[in-house]
Amino acid sequence: MATQDGFEVRAFGCDIQVEAACLEAYAVLERYVFPSLPRAVRTSDRPDLFIRLIQVADQFQLLVDAAVVGSAHTAASLVPDLIRVLDEAVIQRLTTLRAIHAGAVLWEGRALLLPGATHSGKSSLVAEFLQRGATYFSDEYALIDSEGCVHPYPRPLLLRNSCPEQIPVLPCEWNAPIGETPVPVDWILSLEYRPSLAWSVSPVSQSEALLILLQNTPHALAESPDLVEVFQRVVAGATCYAGRRSEATHAVDQILRLVSGPV
């Protein structure tokens, strides 16, 4: 439930309150603030994060706890900034879950983890999977529980599509379902994007895969005392590969050959 000018969302223990100054701004917040999570009437006097999207003259401004963090001629142009603000707030407040910079999808009942740094092409791989019928878990952060299972982190995808600006895309635009429950990780594929080179991957040991996960842990969580133990549970049941890949379409073809075996 929401009011005409704002609503609250609780995402992974983070209370988020949003407010809009006009219908255009409200539509953007409603569409892109964790759209699959339930809305509530604003009741909290002290939310963890207070976001406002307002219009000043011919500019829209994105405010976080009264500080301006972005401005643009349209409200939609501020969505990438909005999503990054939400990511930072949620990831910093995680208590029972651990985060990895990784895309994550469910393909035919098996979870694939695609670790990699920001801007390494994770979102393009995830988008290609979703267009082929995969279930969406995340394009930027994989959330891991104490048993080593990955949870859905249903933020909008941010895609570049060969453009300098990131474009927000919702999984529903490809009719892709969003994960609802945590699942064990079956495959870990650490793939460096090298467009001029051919596909080349090799199996890696679980200890190497563990190191890859640790290298892709957000700095805010890198000192968690149980991090190694949790990630050991992730890799324990997973088949792990590392290497290089070219464009997303070709890469997903190759990944599916790996995970599905001979046709």
The residues, any chain, with a CB within 8 Å of residue 196's CB and separated by 6 or more, are 246
Give pLDDT tens digits for 10-69. 999 999 999 998 999 999 999 999 999 999 887 777 899 999 999 998 899 999 998 999
pLDDT for the residue 95 = 87
Span 120-169, pLDDT tens digits: 889 999 999 999 999 999 999 999 999 999 999 999 999 987 677 889 99
DSSP assigned state of 172? G
Instruction: Please give the pLDDT value at position 186.
Output: 97
CB 101 within 8 A of CB 118: yes
Domains of the chain by residue range: 6-92, 98-260
The token duo for 198 is: 């051919």
Query: According to CATH, what is the number of the domain 98-260?
Result: 3.40.50
CB 109 within 8 A of CB 239: no
At residue 2, does pLDDT exceed 70? no
- pTM reported for the whole predicted model: 0.92
Cβ atoms of residues 21 and 102 within 8 Å: no
Please tell me the predicted confidence (pLDDT) of residue 72: 95
Could you read off the pLDDT of 198-252 as tens digits, one per residue? Answer: 899 999 999 999 999 999 998 665 667 788 999 999 999 999 999 999 999 999 9
220-226: Cβ within 8 A, 24+ apart:
220/91, 220/92, 221/91, 221/94, 221/98, 221/99, 224/98, 226/146
pLDDT of residue 262: 57
